[in-house]
Amino acid sequence: MNSPPDPPLGPLARAVRAAYAAGEEDEALNPRVLLDAEGRPRGPIRPGDPVIFYDIRGEREVELSQALTDPRFPHFATAGPVRLATMIEYAPGLAEQVAFPPQELLRDTLGEVVSRAGLFQVKIVESEKAIHLGYFLSGKREPRFPGEERRVIESHKDAKNDDARPQMRAADVADQTLACLTNPRWSLLIANFANVDVVGHIENKPAVLQAIETVDREIGRVIEAARTEGVTVLLTADHGTVEQWLYPEGAVDTGHTKNPVPCVLLDAALEAEGARLRPGGSLIDVAPTVLELLALEKPAAMTGASLIIRSGGGFVTRPRRVLLLIADGWGHRDDPDGNLILEARTPVMDRLRAEHPFTTLWASGEAVGLPKNTVGNSEAGHLHLGAGRILYSDRLRIDRALEDGSYYRNPAFLWAMDLAKKENRPLHLLGIVSFFSSHGSLDHLFALMHMAKNQGVPQMFIHSLLGRRGERPEAGAHYIAKVEAECARLGLGEVVTVMGRFWALDRESNWDRVEKAYRALVDGVGMSIACA
């Protein structure tokens, strides 16, 4: 089926196309700023202006939101706070009106059950994925549970793209895990190897293959040490990525996938008894499996079930020390076409699959609370690994609000639009521009644009963030053109800023990046684009 033709290109869509021709790509696109007829930045965000940051997910949106709202922001000079509405809560205490606030606090997660039993747990991870092992795996809870320790290895910051060093800090994650394995204090150890997911989002096949082989090698070191220490290992992943690295027509797909993920059990005693892992499970079954291995009772709130099937039936009764290994982004797919997992040299994973109890787990779509037939992601993956039950995503809540019309009556959106009308200020819409990103959707943006028109907002400026993940090459220009065309159709709004998400959606205190995004949005600093 042929793709629909691109709408006519406006000034910023043309600028993005020119950026592609000059060798830039969506993810790290340097800011482009529209100028008015007098050569001044068009639509900069001023102190007091109403801004709707319509991204979901939130952990990458916090730093920029702080810069926009905190009058005592310490990391660089700011012009003064705006009045911010956000799609979801990005951080407790942030000065924002939240359209879809958090639901009830999640109880009885894996970490909480282990802590309540008086056992000690340690999480080892690179900073790139620290929030996933901390916040999401703990049920969107930032504070540590009693008896929980987090060992975070700082990710490299001296390379703009992670494919320059695809081994990342995997060896250091492995070394920290080895050190913890020798300490009997830790009943539960959880280690995450980030390479496959992080490097897999970059169109550099040799680097991706090296990332896969690095994880395979380091997992082998860790498993060997775990078996020496008598520690049971459960190995799995949060979602797939590079096992399906090509679109049907052959273009590279750097996004996540709908495929299941592998799951392997290593426990000499259970294997000697003929134990196996049942088929048909999903990520919600991992926490109940770990609890069974720890000889802890699964709470009623966990609707998942242990994956372990014993020949004689019954449950594990002798508590073990358990290591949960997460090979981030490592999906399972038997088809070799475009499958970089199968193309890479992975002797460790090959041996584990052949010699130990193995199954696959669903990690996408409805199995992890996402819309039907959608790809998995790290946030939903880690959340469900720890929750042991299906939790409906913010995206589903928002999509249902669009369907039933309550989206257009949302108090947070109305608050921002009323400010624009009453004070004759422009309304700013800020966020990802994508057909389907884990950070948001064009549907959410277009609904806000239509709502602003119906509410009589006098002026509207759109500040767009681009990201290649899961998109076809050069998709960003197509999406910007669609937004520009929709503005023209409505007779309201202009796309005035475009930049790659690399600058705006940081989560590791790279304040130089955040400042670059801020300066484009507020001061109009960036590559100047003349209005049409």
Burial string for 380-389 (b: 16+ CB within 10 Å, else e) reads bbbbbbbbbb
What's phi and psi for 334, nearest 5 deg? -80, -25
- Could you tell me if residue 431 is left (phi over 0), alpha (psi between -120 and 50 degrees) or otherwise beta? left
This prediction has a pTM of 0.76
Instruction: Name the pairing type of β-strands 281-282 and 460-466.
Output: unpaired
Consecutive 10-residue averages of pLDDT for the chain (532 residues): 59 93 90 94 97 89 95 96 95 87 88 98 95 92 95 79 87 98 98 96 94 98 97 98 91 91 96 94 98 96 95 76 98 96 98 97 94 90 96 87 95 98 97 75 93 97 84 81 95 96 90 96 94 72
Concatenating the DSSP letter of every residue in 202-230 gives SS-HHHHHHHHHHHHHHHHHHHHHHHHTT
Triad 169, 173, 177: Cα angle to 5°: 170
Which three-class secondary structure state does DSSP give residue 108? coil
Residue type, 286: V
Report CA 210 to chain centroid distance, whole Å.
22
Four-point Cα dihedral 389, 394, 398, 401, nearest 10: 40
What pLDDT score does 9 carry?
Answer: 81
**In the chain, what are the domains?**
11-101+396-530 (3.40.1450.10), 110-155+169-294+321-390 (3.40.720.10)
Chain segment 61-101, per-residue pLDDT in tens: 999 999 999 999 999 999 999 999 999 999 888 878 999 99
pLDDT in tens, 375-427: 999 999 999 999 999 998 888 889 889 999 999 999 999 999 999 999 999 99
